[in-house]
Structure 1
Amino acid sequence: MKPGNFSKFVTIATLVFFYLPILVVVIFSFNSSKSPEWTGFSLKWYVQLFTSTRYLHIWRTFFNSILVGTTASLTAVVIGTFGAIAMYLGSPRFKKLMWTTTYIPFVIPDIIIGVSLLIFFVTIRLQLSLFTVYIAHVTFSIPYTMMIILTRLQDFDKTIIEAAYDLGATKSVVLRKIIVPIAMPGIVAAFFMAFTLSIDDFVITFFVAGPNATTLPLQIFSMIRFGISPVINAISSLLLLGTIFISFLLRRYVRYII
């Protein structure tokens, strides 16, 4: 087999390995039976998901995930934006120190972060709740937002800032009128990245969530322990559809603004 054909084969096989399980989940969300065998097409699991009172708890956990994801992503983007600007405008020594410090969370296992945050919350006697989940999600989202925004700023010519200062612009004007607009595609991309990480997180949330602070991944995990329900397939398919839609909007936005 030629090297080029072998590379294509490996790529296609890898993509099939990654996406086939997702396709199976989507297909069986339309299965008319609870059994793992296909028995016919039906929308009844989607109808039950939206109409049955048995699944109200799923929607409560879904809105918990949306609330935490939105607020944590906004906070992480604000902190990450200022951090990226500081790294971009800072000295090489400061940039190297910040880069090393920011990179460390990427290589630390999630379970270590979850346990350490749990110990921290217990030490300061902070009751586990949605607020502790929010703090945890902000914590692990900041490095991602900072790196994405910094990548956008690295293509920006600093002489424009110097020219603005020469023309009498203040630091706040330079920040609002030059730096933030230039970094905006990176800021938007960083927000959606943080939101995706937040709404999808299970390991860290498992350690820091209180009894009344269940998010959707925790709820799905607790339901799977008693067997895989087609309703889980249905809500997973809806989440997948929402993720694809957000990715499409983000791509259109970035292409438009660039």
Structure 2
Amino acid sequence: MKRNGKLSNIYLFIVFIILYAPIFYLMYYSFNSGGSMHDFEGFTLEWYKEVFQDTRLLIIVLNTFVIALLSAAISTILGVLGALAIMYVRRRQVKNTLLTLNNVLIVSPDVIIGASFLILFTIIGIKLGFTSVLLSHIAFSVPIVVIMVLPKLQEMSPTLIDAARDLGASRWDVLSKVILPFITPGIFAGFFMALTYSLDDFAVTFFVTGNGFSTLSVEIYSRARQGISLSVNALSTLLFLFTIVLVIGYYFINQKGSRAKGMGVRK
């Protein structure tokens, strides 16, 4: 057993090295004064200053965060409603069908989703740009929110709702004062996951982005194709660090929800 445990730890260590080594390599050379990714000549913040002095890039950053926040907020609302609808569907066949359709969107290749949205927006006449990117991000974020909220709904005991109804609570009271407070950790988790996916998405965004509008992922790709520039390293590092902050925030919110639930059970 001990030997298997050591082998598992070694395997995980190797996997993490393979996954994170390129990222740390990129971050390391974002501080290189030499301007290349071969010889580290000295420490500098010049490339980070270049990022913050680039007006066009700052506008793209603003676009990215506006899209991410709007899509995460809207998809969270729609995802919660979708999770409630799936949870309280009486016919098992209909419920399984809805779950399958939701999961298919999660596992579908981004290239297929992006191409499908491109064709759809072209047919119905939606101009590629802010609106098309926002609608696309909402579409692929909603299933993620549903998956995050559904387990919390399944954990909730039906007796809570029955007790609230026995005390004279209306449907709105049951939803706003019983169900939503109970599934709040799942709602926050869904919001942060949707926000992270929107910030990091490239494939879908690449298909539905028009002239004059771009996001960070597409901009980084475009700059990387033009040649080696350590400003791309600096920009990628900042985006990676921000994503880590979001993940840590999700972790603490999830832990807080678990502790609150534990205290409620003890009482």
TM-score category, normalised to shorter length: over 0.9
Match of 1:148 in 2: 148
Change (3 A) 1:148 1:227: same
Which structure 1 segments of 5+ residues have no match?
A: none
TM-superposed CA distance for 1:128, in Å, is 0.9
Partners in 2 of 1:257 and 1:165 — Cα distance? 25
Provide the aligned length of Structure 1 versus Structure 2: 255
Could you tell me the TM-score, scaled by structure 2's length? 0.91
Change (3 A) 1:255 1:5: closer
Match of 1:130 in 2: 130
User: Could you say what secondary structure the match of 1:214 adopts?
Assistant: coil
2:36–2:228 contact (8 Å) kept in structure 1: no
TM-superposed CA distance for 1:32, in Å, is 0.8
Partners in 2 of 1:2 and 1:177 — Cα distance? 51
User: Could you say what secondary structure the match of 2:155 adopts?
Assistant: coil
2:220–2:236 contact (8 Å) kept in structure 1: no
What letter matches 2:182 in structure 1? I
Partners in 2 of 1:48 and 1:112 — Cα distance? 36
**Aligned alpha-carbon RMSD (Å):** 1.4
Match of 2:114 in 1: 114
TM-superposed CA distance for 1:161, in Å, is 0.5
Partners in 2 of 1:156 and 1:206 — Cα distance? 40
Match of 1:11 in 2: 12
Partners in 2 of 1:139 and 1:155 — Cα distance? 26
Partners in 1 of 2:18 and 2:151 — Cα distance? 31
What letter matches 1:87 in structure 2? I
Match of 1:228 in 2: 228
TM-superposed CA distance for 1:75, in Å, is 0.8
For structure 1, which segment, 2-11 or 73-82, has the greater mean C-alpha deviation from structure 2 after superposition? 2-11
Partners in 1 of 2:71 and 2:245 — Cα distance? 21
Partners in 2 of 1:65 and 1:151 — Cα distance? 30
1:29 and 2:56 aligned:
no
Match of 2:238 in 1: 238
What letter matches 2:30 in structure 1? S
For structure 1, which segment, 34-43 or 245-254, has the greater mean C-alpha deviation from structure 2 after superposition? 245-254
Match of 1:98 in 2: 98
What letter matches 1:39 in structure 2? E
Match of 2:50 in 1: 48
Match of 1:185 in 2: 185
Partners in 1 of 2:131 and 2:225 — Cα distance? 26
TM-superposed CA distance for 1:247, in Å, is 2.2
Of all paired residues, the percent bearing the same amino acid is 35
Which structure 2 segments of 5+ residues have no match?
A: 259-267
Change (3 A) 1:9 1:239: same
Deviations 1:28-64 (A, max 9, x none): 11111111121111111112222x3xx2221111111
Partners in 2 of 1:160 and 1:77 — Cα distance? 24
Match of 1:87 in 2: 86
User: Could you say what secondary structure the match of 1:154 adopts?
Assistant: helix
TM-superposed CA distance for 1:24, in Å, is 0.9
Partners in 2 of 1:237 and 1:108 — Cα distance? 28
Partners in 2 of 1:161 and 1:66 — Cα distance? 38
